[in-house]
Amino acid sequence: MEQLLQKLAEQEGGTTASPLRIFLVEDSPDVRDLIMESLAEIPGVLLAGYSETEQDAMRRLEDEDFDVLILDIQLKQGNGMNLLQSLARSGKRRHDELKIIFSNHVSATYRRVGLQYGVQFFFDKSSEFTKLRSLIERLSGKGPSPVAAAPSGFLPA
Amino acid sequence: MRMTLGRNDTGENSLLEQYVATQSNVANIVTAAMGLAVMVGLFGVVVLICCYAEEDYRKLLADLILVQGSTAAGFVLAGCTLYMQCINVGNQSRRLTLAARLTASLLLLLSIAFLLQNFLGVNLSRAHLPGLALVGSAIGAEIHPLAATCLLLVALALLLHDQATRGGHYPAEYLAFILIGLAAIPLVGYLYGIHKLTFLSYSTGIPLLSALVFLLLGAALLMARPSHRLMAIIVGHAPGGNMLRRLLPSMLLLILLLNLLVAQGAEYRLYDDRLMLPFLTLIDGALVVFIFWRFAGRLDREYGARMHSAAKLAETNSLLTAVSDSTSEPIFVKNRQGLLVFANPALLQQVGKNWEEAMYRSSRDLFSSIEDADRIDEDDKRVMASGLPETIEQTLHLQHGIFTYQSTRVPWFDKSGNVLGVIGISTDISERKRAEDSLREREARLEKTVIERTALLRELTNHLETVREEEKRAIARELHDNMGASLTALSMHLESVYKILPDDEKWQERKPRIQGLMSSLVGTTRRIQTELRPNMLDLFGLKAAITEQLDELAERTDMVCKASLPDEDVVIGHEMEIAIYRMLQEMLNNVAKHAKASLVNVILDIDEEQVALTVRDNGIGIPPERRDNNKTYGLRGLRERATFFGGSVDIRPASGSGALITIRLPLAPAAAV
């Protein structure tokens, strides 16, 4: 995982001019606003768009270009896991974007299933927002060095 | 009754009466005739032998020799013929008939020859059959003309034995009577010692033995055919025959005795010879009066008894008629051919005919429906064949509607146990039948209603379950969308707030408390949400949901939880999945609450026919009274759910310790159960 992160950081670092494009799938407006506000503060981060439902997200993700996908599991319509499954099946997209689950459902079972769909990070919505933010900061290349602030929320791979 | 009276009255004839009363009397009489025939034949043979006896024995056998060889030859022929005719009653054997004819004809020729010899002095045997002369003087000598006449009569009677006139008379019988009468003449002569009667104006007297044998022959001739007209009278059961049997022998004996006494009196000079005739007249007159009076008395008694029994019969008859006429239950009697021989008014009304129309009719003529008639005939035939009574329920299509009868059929026996027909009594049970039918119909309807209601209840239970799940889902959704989201947002806000908390000791000490409260709040909300709506089930299916439950249980209770799940994905429909999920939840709750177990095994098995979910723990087990108690909420809930899907719950102690609960649900659609 560390290696992966390093690789990603290098990738981003190599193209400092282009910002880190983030797509957010979150159904609760309160939470969504908060995340967007918070992430927008990070320099070099661009919010490519957001979606509230699985269908809408699926449709928009086909067209949008993004580097990081942050998604919730339970949505007003559909769910994040199905979305990941559909994305994997559609095959239109390259699969190197970073997929982060930011949800209340972070039990071992979810983590296991998520891994199957190429999810790299899981964060508990209620307690690990800081960790998500740190990760994004580091990916955008503006945050503290990865080694210095190894986030504790990282999954043991 | 008549017979017993007669027997008591006439003790002397009781044996004869009994003899006549027996069923086999006719055959016995023929047998007796056979015996007599044999006796006569043998007698003839003995006489013939005696004729050639040595001179020394002649004196001893004088009586037998007196009978003469010629007569004896006639006796032999007569005996043989009669014996053959006795064996051959009804002329069954042609050969015997021919032989009898032959011997009788020989006898006829012989007797004619004797008569010719007597009256014309022609000695045929000497003149034309010189061979006979060699036999000696025994045969061929002149015999008494009465004996010759008797032989002629015997020959004629034998030849005409079975010939009847147009009026039903048998000449042979009359000939036999004449024979007896002729034989009686010399016998009476011998009895009274009057030579005129034994000699009958001939040079020698007819021998006593010959006369006796002729008498026996006459009797035997009559007895050989007891069914012929005259014999039938004395042999028969009718009062006439009775009277004859009782009175005739005693009267003959009485006349003989009294007359003998009168004659003896005259002989011993007790009175003048001239008085004999008046005496005889008086005695015979008295006897005749006595006979007629007695005869008349008997006749009257017979008549009275007959009248009495007729009156009784009439009474019984009228009683029977009254019963059969007044009863509303059809009664009938049919003969072996199935033709109606008796019917009471109820039956006539049943078939809608009067007696003249119904008499000697078959069932097909009586009943309009051929099927009914055939069925009735079938039943009747079966009863007649088996000889056992039967009670049958029959439905008849009559002119005035369809009726159901309970009919009892009894075979009709004669005295010797032969089936003469069938007797039937029917009872109209249409009302009862209707009531039974309506009861049955109501029962069926009730059963149908019960089934419908049960289905309705199941539907309702299903609906309630759906509603419950729906409600839970709505609450879960609400929790997630509003409270959950708000809580999350609040937590995230707080995350930022923590950073700017004053760095004094008080706030630093409060920070973890706030965090703890927050995470407890979030945790509870999540737990409630998950319990209300198994999100996992919706997202990843049953296998994942079971795994999640077990993970959670393990986390909550420190029990070791193991799952054995099928490799392939489980697709059994949302309703059943949620039911299984809920049942597992229930069972795991029970285990956690009561079992005190350290290990739980969950096994899910699916084949083409059913889903089986087994939960085994190593705890204290479920006590039997609790196991079977339907009031125990958890177990009852399990059973209700399983029953709804047409499945079953099996609770038993696990090997070792603990409990083993297996739920089996068929994979057929629930509606089929």
The interface predicted TM-score of the complex, written ipTM, equals 0.76
Backbone φ and ψ for B368, nearest 5 degrees, come out as -70, -30
Cβ contact (<8 Å) for A125 and B539?
no
A127 has a chain B CB within 8 A of its CB = yes
Q: Phi/psi at B123 (nearest 5 deg)?
A: -105, 90
Euclidean distance between CA atoms B247 and B522, whole angstroms: 137
Q: What is the pLDDT of residues B71-104, one digit of tens each?
A: 888 899 899 999 998 888 777 788 888 998 999 9
- Asked if A115 has any chain B CB less than 8 Å from its own CB, the reply is no
Nearest CA in chain A to B495: A130
Residue A76 forms contact with B (CB below 8 Å): yes
B374 touches A: beta carbon within 8 Å = no
Q: Does B522 touch chain A (CB under 8 A)?
A: yes
**Chain B residue with Cα closest to A132:** B492
Nearest Cβ partner of B519 from A34, A127, A130? A127
DSSP state of B533: S
Q: Does pLDDT of B51 surpass 90?
A: no
**Per-residue pLDDT for A120 more than 80?**
yes
Please give the Cα distance from A45 to B31 (Å, whole number). 147
- Of B518, B536, B544, nearest to A126 by CB-CB distance is B518
Cβ of residue A134 closer than 8 Å to a chain B Cβ: no
Give the residue from chain A lying closest to B478, CA to CA. Answer: A76
Pairing outcome for strands B401-413 and B419-428: antiparallel
When scoring B486, B539, B543 by the number of chain A Cβ atoms within 10 A, the one with the most, hence best to mutate, is: B539
Interface of A with B in 47-66 (CB under 8 A): none
Quick check: B540 and A113 CB within 8 A?
Answer: yes
Alpha-carbon distances of B537 from B365, B543, B554, B639, rounded to whole Å = 80, 8, 19, 22
Q: Which residue has the tokens 């032999």?
A: B76
Contacts of A125 in chain B (CB under 8 A): 488, 491-492
Convert the pLDDT of each residue in B638-647 to its tens digit: 888 888 888 8
HSE-up of B297 (CA within 13 Å, CB side)? 9
Please tell me chain B's helix, strand, coil percentages from 3-state DSSP, rounded to the nearest 5: 65, 10, 20
Nearest-Å Rg of the Cα atoms of chain A is: 14
Q: What is the mean pLDDT of residues B456-460?
A: 86
Q: Buried b vs exposed e over B365-389: b needs ≥16 C-beta within 10 Å? A: ebbeeeebbebbbebbeebbeeeee
| B489/A28 Cβ within 8 A | yes
pLDDT at A26 over 70: yes
> B322-365, pLDDT tens digit by residue?
888 888 889 999 998 889 998 988 888 888 888 888 888 888 88
Q: Within 13 Å and on the Cβ side, how many CA atoms surround B620? A: 8
Return the ∠ at Cα B168 (arms to B165 and B169), rounded to 5°: 65
DSSP of B459-476? HHHHHHHHHHHHHHHHHH
Pairing of strands A98-103, A121-124: parallel
Using the beta-carbon criterion (under 8 Å), do A125 and B491 form an inter-chain contact?
yes
- Work out the pLDDT band at B547, boundaries 50, 70, 90: confident
| Chain A / chain B CB contacts < 8 angstroms | 71
Query: For B500-546, what is each residue's pLDDT tens digit?
Result: 888 888 888 888 898 889 888 888 888 888 788 777 787 778 888 88
Residues 533-572 of B with CB under 8 A from A: 535-536, 538-540, 544, 547-548, 551-552
User: Would the pLDDT of A150 be above 70?
Assistant: no
CA–CA separation, B172 and B222 (whole Å): 8
pLDDT reading at A154 higher than 80: no
Nearest Cβ partner for A31 among B492, B536, B551: B492
- Cβ neighbours of B547 in A, within 8 Å: 109
Q: In chain B, which residue's Cα lies nearest the Cα of A31?
A: B489
Distance from CA of B547 to the nearest CA of A (A): 7
Q: Are B588 and B595 in contact (CB under 8 A)?
A: no
CB-based contact B522 A104, cutoff 8 Å: yes
**Buried b / exposed e along A86-117 (16+ C-beta atoms within 10 A):** bbeeeeeeeeebbbbbbbbbbbebbeebbeeb
pLDDT tens figures, B10-37: 344 445 445 444 445 777 888 899 999 9
Q: Does A16 touch chain B (CB under 8 A)?
A: no
* pLDDT surpassing 50 at residue B212: yes
- Closest by CA position to A48, among listed A34, A27, A62: A62
- Separation in Å, CA of B618 to nearest CA in chain A: 26
> Does B484 reach chain A within 8 Å, measured CB to CB?
yes
Cβ–Cβ gap A104/B540 under 8 Å: no
Residue of chain B with shortest Cα separation from A78: B539
pLDDT digits (tens, 9 = 90+) for A29-84: 888 888 888 888 888 888 888 898 888 888 888 777 788 899 888 888 888 888 88
DSSP code at position B68: -
SS3 B498: helix
Q: Which residues contact B343 (CB under 8 A, 6 or more apart)?
A: B330, B331, B332, B333, B355, B358
Cα gap A19→A142, rounded to integer Å: 11
